[in-house]
Amino acid sequence: MSQHSDHDLLFLLHDVARMLRVEADRRASAHGVTRAQWALLSRLARNPGLSQKEIADLLEVEPISVARLVDRLAASGLIERRADAADRRIWRLHLLPAAEPVLQELAVLKGALADAGSAAGHDQGGCVMSQANTVPRNTSNAGFRRANRIKLLRPVLMLGGVLVVVIVSLIFWLLGGQYVSSDDTYVDAAKVSLSTDVSGLVSEVDVKDNQHVEAGQVLFKLSQPQFNIAVAAAQAQLAQAQLDVASAKRGYAEAMDEIAAQRIQIQDDQSNLSKYASVVGSGGVTRATYDDARFKLAADQSKLTQLQDESGVQLAKLANNPDIDPAQTPEYQSALAQLNNAKLQQAHSIVRAPYSGTVTMVEQLQPGMFLPAGTAAFGLVSDTDIWVTAQPKESDLTWVRPGQSVDITVDAYPGEKWTGVVQSISPASGSEFSILPAQNSSGNWVKVVQRIPLRVQIKSGPDGFVLRDGMSAEISIDTNHHRHLSDLF
């Protein structure tokens, strides 16, 4: 019983103190001050001439807070600062006559507080009669009822709150397994640094920075005279190859005619030598005549061999085919290849867009510049070959498969949504392609969740919104996977 009485007394005193604070605030505000300012005036009434630091120590507050209170009271004409006679750096605080009504009201409230405390001490369960009409008669009964309600509601609220948190967490977990989202996502597009495989002076640049171009449109040209000269020289070499083939054919034909004539001459020499051989013994011809006929036959045979060798050289030029088409000869084909190469270099001196898109950084290329072969001139970004690259955590890819639908949002266009599908998933994490891949053989290894690049093909989206390479985006993949309570066990 004593324990319940102590609790009732505590509740009663708490209610009395609260009601007195409310009444104190009301009466203080009636005089244009706060309860804190009223406490400061009370200290000065008991100890005039205190400094701000001394009042701060008595009230157990920061000096800056006392300074603000003093400034407001001084502005209201209730106190004033006076310099200390012993130390001019210290200011003492003194009450002004205007503070008397406020202090008198404080004395009345203090009397009411004393009477209320006395009544509470004489009767723990009774009612306290407020001298200042601040505490109602049924304060103690209200305190008892409030305490009982708190005792009953406290365990209910505690258990109910825990149960609500568990149920909400469980529902969130069950519904959260279907979608995989990632904000480490960016828009990508096919892009190329335009260059050419020939060197030369830039003669003209036909586009401007950030201009849209179509596939095949001329972007810039190199100076043409050197390429025109190369083409003309190759054409001349091709014509010379044709003349060489024709000359070889004529030379071969002449050689064959000479060979035929020489064979006839050899037949005549053999006939004369046979005649001379039959009569040289009987003195029909002289030995000298016979020897001349024999030497002439040998000379004509040697000349025939020489003519055959010369005809063989001409025939070799014709690929052993005297009726060969000039276009089939190696000389002609070599000259034609040189001509085609010259024309190819001339064509490459005029750079065209490989696909439609937007050119960028064009200003770094100016007419008159020498552009070495293979040097990047400026960039081209496609406006048709666009996709989204995301790098979700490896732990989020459990149920992600190619072909699953994806919702895409772009930071630049709030409220707009694009749709797509998972096109492919990288076979390796992004860190595997870094210059210095992580080496996990050291003793201080720390496990880090890896990110796996994932490519999303864009299928459709709102009209009038341009997706640009490098834009930040977010994706949500519908994996069609549903969690079950059995997964928890």
**In terms of residue numbers, what domain contains 305?**
226-323
Residues 315 and 383 in one domain: no
Residues 408 and 459 in one domain: yes
CA distance 465 to 19: 64
Residues 120 and 44 in one domain: yes
CA distance 188 to 408: 13
- Asked if the structure places residue 308 within a domain, the reply is yes
4, two tokens:
């319940």
- Asked if the structure places residue 334 within a domain, the reply is no
pLDDT given at position 309: 80
- Residue 27 · residue 105 · CB < 8 Å: yes
pLDDT given at position 261: 82
Residues 420 and 481 in one domain: yes
- Asked if the structure places residue 291 within a domain, the reply is yes
Residues 398 and 278 in one domain: no
Going by the DSSP 8-state scheme, the letter that residue 475 receives in this structure is E
Residues 14 and 131 in one domain: yes
> Is the Cα torsion angle 198, 204, 209, 212 positive or negative in sign?
negative
- Asked if the structure places residue 285 within a domain, the reply is yes
Residues 128 and 241 in one domain: no
Residues 281 and 183 in one domain: no
pLDDT given at position 323: 72
CA distance 199 to 373: 5
pLDDT given at position 11: 63
Residue at 249: amino acid letter: K
- Asked if the structure places residue 33 within a domain, the reply is yes
Question: Residue for token digits 């052993």?
Answer: 320
CATH number for 107 = 1.10.10.10
188, two tokens:
């990508």
- Give the residue from 323, 338, 361 where a domain finishes: 323
pLDDT given at position 436: 73
- Asked if the structure places residue 167 within a domain, the reply is no
- Asked if the structure places residue 283 within a domain, the reply is yes
Question: Residue for token digits 């406290």?
Answer: 154
pLDDT given at position 161: 85
pLDDT given at position 367: 94
From first to last of the 489 residues of the chain, give the pLDDT tens digit: 444 445 555 666 666 667 767 776 776 676 667 777 777 787 788 888 888 888 888 877 788 887 888 888 888 787 888 887 777 677 788 888 877 877 776 677 666 555 554 554 444 334 433 433 444 444 445 555 666 666 677 787 788 888 899 888 888 887 777 889 999 999 999 999 999 999 999 999 999 999 999 999 999 999 999 999 999 999 999 988 888 877 777 877 777 878 888 888 888 878 877 777 777 767 677 778 777 778 888 887 888 888 788 777 777 777 677 777 777 788 888 999 999 999 999 999 999 999 999 999 999 999 999 999 999 999 999 999 999 999 999 989 989 999 999 999 999 999 999 999 999 999 998 777 777 776 666 666 778 888 999 999 999 999 989 999 999 999 999 998 888 777 776
Q: Give the total number of structural domains in the chain.
A: 3
Say what the alpha-carbon torsion angle 354, 357, 361, 362 is, to the nearest 10 degrees. 60
pLDDT given at position 174: 78
- Give the residue from 323, 342, 369 where a domain finishes: 323
- Asked if the structure places residue 358 within a domain, the reply is no
Residues 133 and 183 in one domain: no
CA distance 19 to 13: 10
β-pair partners for 186: 389, 472
Residues 12 and 126 in one domain: yes
pTM of the model: 0.55
pLDDT given at position 112: 59
Residues 9 and 58 in one domain: yes
Residues 97 and 20 in one domain: yes
pLDDT given at position 142: 55
CATH number for 465 = 2.40.30.170
